[in-house]
Amino acid sequence: MKCNIPIEKLMDYFYGELENEELRDFENHLKTCAECKEELERLEIPSKALQKWEMPESRMNVVFMTEKESFLDRIKQYVPSFEWLRVKPVMKFGYGLAAIFLILSVTNFQFSYNSETGDFTLATSLFSSSGDAQPVEQISNDVLTQQILESQNRVLDMVTQVLSEREQNQNEEFTNALYEWAKNIENERAKELQDFGQQVISVIDPLAQDLNKTKQNVNELIKTADLKKQQ
């Protein structure tokens, strides 16, 4: 531009950020400067175009919960003894759980749990899917506050409910894992006992044969001795 008005001033005016004296001065300048006027008209084109891109209606809602006691923590309490016993299936189960995001969806909302970081998030909508029922300006601030607090409490109730259900699921999973583990131990013990039994037999068998032989030998010795006596 040949005109010496800085572009910063032009931007301030274009977005209504000039006040009082500055605004009056610039408006006076515009009356005589065709260049600035033309420039402002040009800027209206991209600005207007940008407003043609509408926002989608979708909304989101994230709820944060601090978990009381997570399933993973409980598993971790048992991990040292699991390691000592080298029960693989349960360990695998624990590792698998540590690496995944747990995401469950319940009708209108979904939550995700990252057991690696312990992040737990829940997404739902506070609003009906058809969008806002009423423009915000038409409701008094008190009513709005009340409404927002009420809907927030409803969401929190829902979250608590979902969490307790999830807790129950976790308990079930945990019980199943323990059951599996116990079954494995039992199987391993049974196998060990069997092995032990076979080993015992393999030791006892020759021993029994030896004993028999000894017995026979002794019997023969006794017989011989008896015969000698009679003679």
* Site for another protein, rule CB under 8 A: 7-8, 10-12, 15, 17, 41-56, 58-66, 101, 103-105, 110, 112, 119, 121, 123, 126, 136, 141, 144-145, 148, 152, 156
Minimum CB–partner distance for residue 34 and Zn ion (Å): 8
Q: Which does 23 bind (CB under 5 to 8 A by kind): another protein, Zn ion, none?
A: none
For residue 119, the partner it binds in another protein, Zn ion, none, with Cβ less than 5 to 8 A by kind, is another protein
> Which one of another protein, Zn ion, none is in contact with 66 (Cβ closer than 5 to 8 A by kind)?
another protein
33 contacts which partner out of Zn ion, another protein, none, CB within 5 to 8 A by kind?
Zn ion
Distant-in-sequence, close-in-space partners of 133: CB < 8 Å, separation ≥ 6: 127
Residue 12 beta carbon to another protein: minimum distance, rounded to whole angstroms: 7
For residues 149 and 200, which CB has a smaller minimum distance to another protein in the complex?
149
Contact 224, 218 (CB under 8 A): no
Q: Which is nearer to another protein, 121 or 184 (CB)?
A: 121
Q: Read off φ and ψ for residue 44, nearest 5 degrees.
A: -65, -25
Which amino acid makes up residue 200? V
Query: Based on CB atoms, which residue is closest to another protein, 112 or 184?
Result: 112
Length of the chain: 231
Dihedral of the alpha carbons of 142, 143, 144, 146, in degrees to the nearest 10:
90
CA distance linking residue 164 with residue 152, whole number of Å = 18
Task: Name the binder of 62 from another protein, Zn ion, none, CB < 5-8 A by kind.
Answer: another protein
Return the number of the residue (31 or 68) whose C-beta is nearest another protein.
68
Choosing among Zn ion, another protein, none, which partner's interface includes residue 158 (Cβ < 5 to 8 Å by kind)?
none
Nearest-approach distance from CB 32 to Zn ion, in angstroms: 8
Q: Helix %, strand %, coil % for the chain, to 5? A: 70, 10, 25
Nearer to another protein, 150 or 220 (CB): 150
Structure tokens at 164: 């307790």
| Under 8 Å between Cβ of 147 and 139 | yes
Residue with tokens 């017995």, as numbered in its chain: 215
Residue with tokens 């013990």: 189
Min separation Cβ 46 and Zn ion, Å? 20
Q: 218 vs 207, 226, 228, CA distance in Å? A: 16, 12, 15
